[in-house]
Amino acid sequence: MLDIAIVGAGPYGLSVASHLKRRGVAFRIFGRPMDSWLAHMPKGMLLKSDGFASNISDPDGDFTLKHFCAERGIKYGEMGVPVRLETFTAYGLAFKERKLPELENTLVLGLKRVPGGFILQLDTGETVKARRVVLAVGITHFEYTPPGLTHLPAELLSHSFRHHDLEPFKSRRVLVIGGGASATDLAGLLAENGVDVHLISRKMALNFHEKADISKSRSFWQGIRNPQSGLGPGLRSRLYADAPSVFHHLPERLRLDIVRTFLGPSGGWFTKDKVIGRVPLMLGFSPERAEIHGGQVLLKLSGANTTKREILTDHVIAATGYKVNLGRLTFLSEEIRSNLKAVDDAPVLSSSFESSLPGLYFVGIAAANSFGPVMRFAFGAGFAARHLTKAIAKVLSRDRATMPVTNGFAKQIGNDNAAAQENSAIKTSSIEMEKVREVNAVD
C-alpha cells in the first residue's frame, strides 16, 4: 500500500510533493501540471502577487521564480514588476520537470475509504490504495456563479474560469460581472482584443492595489509599522501571511469573518489603466434576473434606491470568484462527503491540515477557513508544504517505531499473512513508480 497519494499538480501539490521527496517519503502525485493556470486563466493576464511571493516551494531553495527567470533571461523583480501568466506557468512546468519528473499526468476520477486507507480510481483504469491522501485541488471545482444567472444555457453564460483564449468573443457583445481581479483582468483583456465589453459590479467604486514604490528607501520604523508581506503591505497582511498556525487558533467565527472580508475584491495596479476610461462601467448594480430574448440575454439589474436598469448582450461572463463547497468535489465518494466535518461547506482541519477523516488532508483554498487568506494564494504553499510534510513525517516515524523491519519491508508482529500482502502491494507500487520514471526519462 502506498504511504501518500497527492491529488492535484498546481503550486500546492507540487510544493507538498517536493518537500515529501526531500524527506524521502514515498508518494505518488496525480494531476495535470499547472492546469488551472494553463487552461483556465486568460492569455495576457498578469499575476497580482509580487515576484517574491510567486514561488513554488522548493525545500532546497535552488529553483525559485527568480532563478527560473535568470536562466531564461526574463525580466524579474522581487516587487514592482508584474509576473506574466505565461512566465508563471512555464516556471511551474519547469519545476515539475526538474524536481518532480515522476508526476503522473492523470486524473483521479474517484476516491473512497477502505479499511486502512483509501482507494483512488484513475482515468487510466488503474486503482491505487493509499494510507493517506492529500487533496491539493485548488480552485478547479469551486467556481461561483450568482443564483440569478445559473438557469442560462452554456452558450449564453460562462464563468471566467472557463476562458483562456478570448479570440472567440471578437465581434460579440459581452458583459463581465464582478469587481475583483478576475473581472478587471478579463474586462481589460477583452477590450484590448477589440471586444465590445461592459463591466457590471455591485461595488460603487472599483478598487485597485497600489504599486509598491521600490525607488524609496524605508526607515526602520516604517518597516515595523507597515511591513511588506506575501499578501501585500500592512501589519494584518504580515500576520496572516507569516503566521497561519496562529490564525488556526483564533475563534472559529472570527476566522470565518476574516477570510470572508480580508483582501476584498480588487484588481492589480497594472489593470487600472486598461479598465478605467476604456471599459464602460455599470457600478452599484447587481443582476436581479436574466431572460433570453432572440438568442441574447436581457439582464435586469437592481441598484441603490431601487434603481433598475436593463442591458442586452450576446454573452455573460460571471467573474465572481470561487467558493469552497465540498459537495462540488464529486470524485469523493458520498460516504466521504457525508462524513467530513465542515463549516460553511469547507472542511474543518486540524493543525496539521488533516480533516475529520483520519488520513485525508486538504491544502490550498479549501484550507483557508482553517489557516487564513494566505491559503488562497501561491505564497501559502510554502507553509502548507513544510507544515504538512513535518506532520506526516512524524506519523510515519511513529508507525515505523511500532513495526519491526524485515528484509526492508514493514512486518506486523504475529500477522505474517497480512505482512506478505502488504509487501506485495509495496513492491507493486515501487515497480509502477520505476515504470513511470522510465517513461518520463524517455519523454
Q: How would you list the strands of the sheet with 281-283, edge to edge?
A: 157-159, 315-318, 173-177, 196-201, 281-283
- As a whole number of angstroms, the distance between CA 373 and CA 238 comes to 11
- As a whole number of angstroms, the distance between CA 298 and CA 314 comes to 9
pLDDT recorded at residue 215? 59
pLDDT digits (tens, 9 = 90+) for 37-96: 999 999 999 999 999 999 999 999 999 999 999 999 999 999 989 999 999 999 999 999
- As a whole number of angstroms, the distance between CA 368 and CA 372 comes to 5
Q: What number is the average pLDDT over the span 152-168?
A: 95
Domains and CATH numbers, the chain: 2-142+323-402 (3.50.50.60), 147-208+266-318 (3.50.50.60)
pLDDT recorded at residue 403? 64
Q: Which three cell numbers stand for residue 319?
A: 467573474
- The DSSP 8-state label assigned to residue 78 in this structure reads S
* Nearest one of 312, 278, 279 to 294, comparing CA atoms: 312
Question: Identity (one letter) of the amino acid at 397?
Answer: S
With bands split at pLDDT 50, 70 and 90, how would you rate the model's confidence at 400? Answer: confident
- As a whole number of angstroms, the distance between CA 424 and CA 60 comes to 33
Mean pLDDT of the chain: 89
Q: Decide if 211 contacts 269 (C-beta within 8 A).
A: yes
Name the burial class of residue 81, with classes exposed (0-12), middle (13-18) and buried (19+) by CB atoms within 10 angstroms of its CB: middle
pLDDT digits (tens, 9 = 90+) for 121-155: 999 999 999 999 999 999 989 999 998 899 999 99
Q: Is 334 helix (H, G, I), strand (E, B) or coil?
A: helix
- As a whole number of angstroms, the distance between CA 128 and CA 137 comes to 18
Q: Which residues pair with 111 in a beta bridge?
A: 120, 332
DSSP sequence for 230-282:
BTBSSHHHHHHHH-HHHHHTS-HHHHHHHHHHTT-S-B-GGGHHHHTTTS-EE
Q: Which three cell numbers stand for residue 70?
A: 535568470
* Continuous segment of H or E residues that includes residue 191: helix 181-192
- As a whole number of angstroms, the distance between CA 10 and CA 57 comes to 11
pLDDT digits (tens, 9 = 90+) for 340-378: 999 999 999 999 999 999 999 999 999 999 999 999 999
Question: Identity (one letter) of the amino acid at 92?
Answer: G
Our measurement of the distance from residue 135's CA atom to the centroid of its chain's CA atoms, rounded to an integer in Å, reads 11
